Amino acid sequence: QSVLTQPPSVSAAPGQKVAISCSGRSSNVGNNFVSWYQHLPGTAPRLVIYDNNKRPSGIPDRFSGSKSDTSATLDISGLQTGDEADYYCATWDSSLSADIFGGGTKLTVL
């Protein structure tokens, strides 16, 4: 059981928007910046959001992030079948003195 809680799965139709939540506590999300990763099993994870809401070069603006108190959210708009993957939030946990990942959310584009 992960310290960061994510829904196991979300789904939406192509072109629609989906939100993936990441709930933590003051020792992690509440006082540190959150990053998000897209992972297709068997391939390297890909950073899609860092510092809560910044996009690395090459990530389309359909991906956006936000954070409020001890929760963070990854929004993906204009869904494409290529967006199907597992998505993980991550942050530093000051109590554990370690990075932690959320349990992951499987996105299905119907």
Q: Which two tokens stand for residue 51?
A: 């510092």
Which residue's CB is nearer to another protein, number 16 or number 68? Answer: 68
Q: Report the distance separating Cα 31 and Cα 20, nearest Å.
A: 20
Q: Which residue has the tokens 């059981």?
A: 1
Nearest distance from residue 92's CB to another protein, in Å? 6
Nearest distance from residue 61's CB to another protein, in Å? 18
Nearest distance from residue 31's CB to another protein, in Å? 7
Nearest distance from residue 19's CB to another protein, in Å? 19
Which residue's CB is nearer to another protein, number 1 or number 13? Answer: 1
Cβ neighbours for 63, distance < 8 A, ≥ 6 positions apart: 36, 48, 49, 55, 74, 75, 76
Which positions lie near another protein, rule CB under 8 A? 2, 31-33, 35, 37, 39, 41-47, 50-51, 56, 86, 88, 90, 92, 96-104
